[in-house]
Amino acid sequence: MCVLFSWLCVAGEGVCDDDTAICYCDGPMGRVPAPPDAPPGTPPIRVGRPLITMHHAPKTTWNGSWAFGEVPYDNVYGPQGYCNVTDPIWVPGCGMDGWGGRTCDQPVEAFCPGACSGHGQCYLGWCICDAGYYGHDCARRRAGLSPLPSGIRQKRWLEGVVGSEPPAAMEPPPRAERRRPLIYVYDLEPLYQSKLLQYRWPDNGTQWTDVWVYAADTLLHESLLISEHRTFDPEEADFFYVPHYASCLPFPIGVWADAPWFPEPGARAHHHLCEVLPATRVITVTCRLPVNRGPRVKQMVNMVRDTLDWINSTFPYWRRRGGRDHIWLFTHDEGACWAPTAINASIWLTHWGRTELNHTSNTAFLADKYDSDFAGPLQPEGFVKYIKGHPCFNPEKDLVIPAFKAPSHYHASPLQGNPARERDLLFFFRGDVGKNRLPNYSRGVRQQIYKMAKEGGWAEKYRFYIGDGSDVEGDYSEMLSRAIFCLVAPGDGWSARMEDAVLHGCIPVVIADGVEAVFENVLELDAFALRLPQEAVPRLLDVLRAVPQRAIRSKQAHLGRVWQRYRWASLPKLDDAFATIMQWLHSRIPHTR
């Protein structure tokens, strides 16, 4: 049943897709389902226009009664409404992956990792493979089946993103002199990966786009699938990659979907839960407070534990080296701080390089505190016992990798070939400065600098800019391109400000005690960045103004040499972020044996 935001379907004002729990228009532009006797998977006769959330739904019914929406009724079902005419007076934002255009009923390329290798159809993150092909990306071929042409060749817009098809799937078999490391990518039980894409937030989240903060989950997975480093032979693999999507679990899935849960339902992020009970066209809404079922992190911990159990019950390779040659990615706010201790021997890729052994959660978002234990009926012992005894990041075996930034994010950067702007801003930071946050947000760093700058009038006196959008205006990329120094400080955990600074040639000012920055154990950070202890924050203005011009020019020159390592290319390119990870992994091969 469509629930919560799809109330108007239940009320008889729309058509519900029971497979996705998404509501569509009724009427001339509405959805026409497949016949009732059609086999499962039969597409609708007409897709129709979607009405995804309460923000798209009418706020009254046809007779003027209150309804659980935010849009005037006539915008949706009036004579010129969205559901009634070709060219309506109002259109919502498109939500369903695979559909776009002004009225959200034009087919566009949906997202599946590797575009199903051109040997399958993508359905909301799930590859429906052609006959004879299998695997998450339909790259594997049944023994004895001659290779068939990849459908990607008929989609020129995909070739620049995923190439033709994975080199590992090509014939003749790859030569022995392939570039190492060779990485075997697990085709996990779909519950831990591709099904999570199907449950995802209905706004094209969890794709490797700039919109999704944890985009590296799908980006790195796809990069490995289409890379020359991939192998189908686990016996020759240097490493094994575990493509779990745990960061998708607490949000958006934990907010918008009713499952899956590990091992039992978790707390929702809604302020209240509402049940829509339409006996007639008059809507009855019953709301209740959410039941406390522990922090959202509990779900991620248990999903990763389940993933390891599945690997051990399906393959022998974890036990062969105690997991040392296995790679896990942790993109959530506090990285691998909550990773199960059972996988501590593995390589962890993360955005959060906190190194203390005895650590506690520092997020200001209480639903994500990994040290807030909770004992439920199916886990009476709690979950914290399973994550104790390891640092969030071990520089001897782990790597802090860049978050994804689309080229549009750094469109004005002089490193992109744009004319160089005068670096007329001493300091720049625009973002959350903790105005409405708990004091521990950002460890207080952003708040302290903002307070000093505001009270001291530093923007006017020294061109020292810090604040949110109401304090600091202007195009974000242009402002970064004009700044000499840019702040890199924590948020709830990691923050992608290192990437912002480097991609614009701005000298990063790293203030994060005990936290390694992106690629800090690979590159010589001091050559292009300035690291300061938090106790130096009161002297920050004096410290920056005292940096010699020669040192500034030297750091800027080094930024010009390393910036490409902080970007992700469309296809894996020499010395971009993906290539840097591969180079580092190559150096780690002897340590995993």
Residue 400 is assigned to a structural domain of this protein: yes
Residue 508 is assigned to a structural domain of this protein: yes
Domain of 60 in residue numbering reads as 1-105
Burial label for 586, CB within 10 Å (0-12, 13-18, 19+), is middle
Residues 72 and 132 in one domain: no
Residue 343 tokens, joined: 């996988």
Residue 219 is assigned to a structural domain of this protein: yes
Q: Output the tens digit of pLDDT for each of the chain's 593 residues.
A: 233 344 446 555 688 888 777 889 999 999 999 999 999 878 899 999 998 877 788 888 888 888 878 899 999 999 999 999 999 999 998 877 888 899 998 888 888 989 999 999 998 888 999 999 999 999 999 998 888 888 888 887 887 778 777 888 887 666 667 789 999 999 999 989 888 877 665 444 445 455 668 889 999 999 999 999 999 999 999 999 999 999 888 776 665 566 778 887 765 444 333 444 443 333 333 333 345 567 889 999 999 999 999 999 999 999 999 999 999 999 999 999 999 999 999 999 999 999 999 999 999 998 899 999 999 889 999 999 999 999 999 999 999 999 999 899 999 999 999 999 999 999 999 999 999 999 999 999 999 999 999 999 999 999 999 999 999 999 999 999 999 999 999 999 999 999 999 999 999 999 999 999 999 999 999 999 999 999 999 999 999 999 999 999 999 999 999 999 999 987 666 799 999 999 999 999 999 98
Domains identified in the chain, total number: 4
Residues 122 and 189 in one domain: no
Residues 6+ away with beta carbon under 8 Å from 245: 192, 193, 196, 197, 206, 217, 218
Residues 532 and 425 in one domain: yes
Residue 237 is assigned to a structural domain of this protein: yes
Q: Which amino acid is at 528?
A: F
Nearest to 8 by CA among 287, 281, 203: 281
Residues 394 and 270 in one domain: yes
What CA–CA distances, in Å, run from 74 to 12, 60, 64, 69? 16, 9, 11, 13
CA dist., res. 442 & res. 288, Å (int): 33
Domain boundary among 83, 105, 127: 105
DSSP symbols for 199-230: TS-TTTTTSSSTT-TTTHHHHHHHHHHTSTTB
Residue 130 is assigned to a structural domain of this protein: yes
- What is the per-residue pLDDT for 290? 46
Residues 437 and 586 in one domain: no
Residues 138 and 248 in one domain: no
Which H/E stretch holds residue 326? strand 326-330
Residues 114 and 97 in one domain: no
Residue 174 is assigned to a structural domain of this protein: no
Residues 229 and 360 in one domain: yes
Residue 187 is assigned to a structural domain of this protein: yes
- What is the per-residue pLDDT for 266? 63
CA dihedral of residues 438, 444, 446, 449 (deg, nearest 10):
130
Residues 298 and 396 in one domain: yes
User: What does the buried/exposed string (b/e) look like for 180-218 if buried means 16 or more CB atoms within 10 Å of the residue's CB?
Assistant: bbbbbbbbbbebbbbbbbbbbbbbbbbbbeeebbbbbbb
Contact 30, 24 (CB under 8 A): yes
Q: What is the CATH number of the domain that holds 517?
A: 3.40.50.2000
- Helix 216-225 crosses helix 577-588 at what angle (to 10 degrees)? 70
Q: Which amino acid is at 540?
A: L
Residue 215 is assigned to a structural domain of this protein: yes
- What is the per-residue pLDDT for 9? 61
Residues 478 and 557 in one domain: yes
Residues 113 and 41 in one domain: no
Where does 518-571 show beta strands of DSSP type E? 530-531
Residues 221 and 236 in one domain: yes
Domain boundary among 124, 140, 169: 169
Domain boundary among 85, 105, 125: 105
